[in-house]
């Protein structure tokens, strides 16, 4: 059960977050939803693909983290082995909520889930410094939350443009791990490079205007990172 509480440096002055992989089972996932606002960093390390819900038609961008269910190959006993962590997983037990106001725009504030198993007062990353200032860890969390907030709108714009321009194409990825083991990824999409290269100058200008042209090319190039997943999987299997 989640219990979001408005974060403050008085009630939560001693709050710590255990960031070790063993402290949270939610890290053990083979994919996570991501945002267009973080594609420029994520494409360097993760395979990125579009996923379309077969019933609702809703589109998401996913970073692929593993080749088996509940497998995150980018984690070891010490934590993430990547330079960048997808914002949804990097935010920890924190979220953003809004306070309604009659005479102003809703004001954002940070909440913490006090029932999250990572929360304690003895072990982990401190949220606040001894004199009440925010810690480096909290600054990192705030950047992750800002990525999610900005990315939510960016994603809507990106998905509207790629559907309008009919840029999505189905991709079926087959990963061969050995003579007997093979993993198939279906129900995923990527960008049709031929259609993208043949867009009119006006269409390319629109993509560039909204800052979406770069992310589209990054998503296409990220598919090469499936080889890294294979290498990580094989290295992990050799230790078993």
State pLDDT tens for residues 31-69: 999 999 999 999 999 999 999 887 788 999 999 999 888
**What pLDDT was estimated at residue 1?**
63
Q: How many helices (H) and strands (E) does the chain have?
A: 7, 13
8 A C-beta contact, residue 37 and residue 22 = no
User: Residue 209 contacts by C-beta under 8 Å, 6 or more apart in sequence?
Assistant: none
**What pLDDT was estimated at residue 102?**
67
Range of the domain at 100: 4-238
Of the pLDDT bands very low, low, confident and very high (cuts 50, 70, 90), residue 103 is: low
Angle (nearest 5°) at CA 56 between 54 and 58: 90
Count of domains for the chain: 1
Element (H or E) spanning 49, and its range?
Answer: strand 48-52
pLDDT at 109 over 70: yes
| Averaged confidence pLDDT in the chain | 90
User: Looking at residues 95-116, what average pLDDT do you find?
Assistant: 84
């Amino acid at each position: 059960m989640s219990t979001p509480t408005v974060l403050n440096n008085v009630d939560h002055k001693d709050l710590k977050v255990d960031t070790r992989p063993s402290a949270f089972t939610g890290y053990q996932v083979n994919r996570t939803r991501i945002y267009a606002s973080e594609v420029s960093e994520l494409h360097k390390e993760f395979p990125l693909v579009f996923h379309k819900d077969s019933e609702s038609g809703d589109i998401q961008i996913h970073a692929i983290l593993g080749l088996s269910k509940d497998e995150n190959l980018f984690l070891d006993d010490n934590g993430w082995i990547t330079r960048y962590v997808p914002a949804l997983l990097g935010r920890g037990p924190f979220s953003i909520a809004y306070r309604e106001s009659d005479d102003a725009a809703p004001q954002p504030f940070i909440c913490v889930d006090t029932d999250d198993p990572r929360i304690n007062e003895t072990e982990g990353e401190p949220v606040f410094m001894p004199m009440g200032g925010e810690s480096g860890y909290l600054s990192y969390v705030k950047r992750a939350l800002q990525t999610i907030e900005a990315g939510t709108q960016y994603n809507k714009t990106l998905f509207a443009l790629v559907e309008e321009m009919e840029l999505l194409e189905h991709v079926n990825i087959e990963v061969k791990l050995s003579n007997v083991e093979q993993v198939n990824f279906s129900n995923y999409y990527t960008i049709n490079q031929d259609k993208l290269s043949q867009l009119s100058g006006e269409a390319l200008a629109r993509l560039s205007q909204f800052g979406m042209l770069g992310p589209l090319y990054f998503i296409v190039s990220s598919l090469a990172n499936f080889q890294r997943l294979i290498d990580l999987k094989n290295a992990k299997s050799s230790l078993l």
